[in-house]
Amino acid sequence: MRRLFLGMAIVSIAVSIAIVASLLGNAVGFFVDVDKGSLLDVGWFPRRNRFDLLTPIAGTLVMSLVAMLVATPLGLGAAIYLAEYAKPRVRRLLKPVLEILAGIPSVVLGFFALLWIGPNVVVELLNSPKPATILTASIGVGILVTPLVASVSEDALRAVPQALREASYGLGAKKSTTVRSVVLPAAVSGIMASLILGLSRAIGETMVTFMAAGAVGGALRTWNPLDSGTTLTAAIASVATGSDQVAGEALAFEGVFALGITLFFITLVLNWMSDRFVRRVRQKY
């Protein structure tokens, strides 16, 4: 039995190492082969040998940060309502709904973003000339990530001992003061974890951006969410669709690995930063 579990552990570690090795190997191959001048260009157009890495990086940063601007207030608000204000009956009803929302396939949300958020929110409300923009994808991804943020932070809020709330009420604190000054600070590490999880999910999210951000095959570099754009993941997806085409264009294919390794490092740095942050601000109870 012990050997079986050890074997499983070894396999999963070996697979991870193999993935990183193949990523690294191909990415190095790409950086050796590529014309260095094409790494800083007007945009990311792999089939035209324009490999501006900053384009998908900027797209990823802008898309995921705007998505978190949507998901943080919605998710935290929902969590605070469910954990602190909702009557038990309401909560029993809403919590499963939230968990179902968390399971919506991203392709469905991509479709919704493209056909509804684009024309109705981005064009109508924000007067954008075109519906398919980074912002369109951001709102879609924000909605996608909200249930995750809400669910994990709600657990964190509910894990705060009732005795702390009682202590606060006993001192003449109002409900809102108790939530703000006692419950939220006590739950901050769990809430941060939910936001980091949400951000990781947003950065890794592919389908919504691929469908709704308006980039076909490539995109110009931009930091403006009202432009069309691409992200690291969507750029990988768009190179990888139609594998025979890719096979014919060796450099574009290897470029995908350069994107992959960049994504890998962004996630790694994010995890490391969040770990340090949580350690610093945690209030243990």
Partner 1 sequence: MGVAVESRDQALVESPIVFDVAGLNVHYGDFHAVKDVGIQIRRNEITALIGPSGCGKSTVLRCFNRMNDLIETARVSGSIRYHDVDLYGSDVDPVQVRRHIGMVFQKPNPFPKSIYDNVAFGPKIAGFDGDLDELVEQALTQAALWDEVKDKLNDSAYALSGGQQQRLCIARAIATSPDVVLMDEPASALDPIATLRIEDLMQGLKENYSIVIVTHNMQQAARVSDRTAFFTVDMEETGQRTGVLVEFDETSTIFTNPGEKRTEDYITGRFG
- Does 277 sit near partner 1 (CB under 8 A)? no
- Does 176 sit near partner 1 (CB under 8 A)? no
- Does 35 sit near partner 1 (CB under 8 A)? no
Q: Is 86 left (phi over 0), alpha (psi -120 to 50) or beta?
A: beta
**3-state secondary structure string, 82-113?**
HHHHCCHHHHHHHHHHHHHHHCCCHHHHHHHH
Nearest-approach distance from CB 170 to partner 1, in angstroms? 4
- Does 159 sit near partner 1 (CB under 8 A)? no
- Alpha helices (runs of H) in the chain, residue ranges in sequence order: 2-33, 54-80, 88-102, 106-112, 134-158, 162-170, 175-178, 184-186, 188-204, 207-212, 232-240, 243-248, 250-281
Stretch that binds partner 1, among 103-111, 177-185, 197-205, 206-214 (CB under 8 A): 177-185
Q: Which amino acid is at 44?
A: W
In angstroms, rounded to a whole number, what is the distance separating the alpha carbons of residues 191 and 283?
A: 12
- CA 8 to chain CA centroid, Å, is 29
Among 5, 172, 216, 279, binds partner 1 (CB under 8 A): 172
Residues in contact with partner 1, counted by CB under 8 A, come to a total of: 21
- Does 69 sit near partner 1 (CB under 8 A)? no
- Does 156 sit near partner 1 (CB under 8 A)? no
- Does 166 sit near partner 1 (CB under 8 A)? yes
Nearest residue to 214 (alpha-carbon basis) of 89, 144, 119, 92: 119
Among 16, 22, 120, 181, binds partner 1 (CB under 8 A): 181
Among 17, 100, 108, 174, binds partner 1 (CB under 8 A): 174
Nearest-approach distance from CB 283 to partner 1, in angstroms? 4
Among 12, 177, 243, 245, binds partner 1 (CB under 8 A): 177
Nearest-approach distance from CB 161 to partner 1, in angstroms? 7
In angstroms, rounded to a whole number, what is the distance separating the alpha carbons of residues 13 and 41?
A: 38
- Does 169 sit near partner 1 (CB under 8 A)? yes
**Residues that bind partner 1 in the complex, under the rule CB under 8 A:** 87, 161, 163-164, 166-174, 177, 181-182, 185-186, 283-285
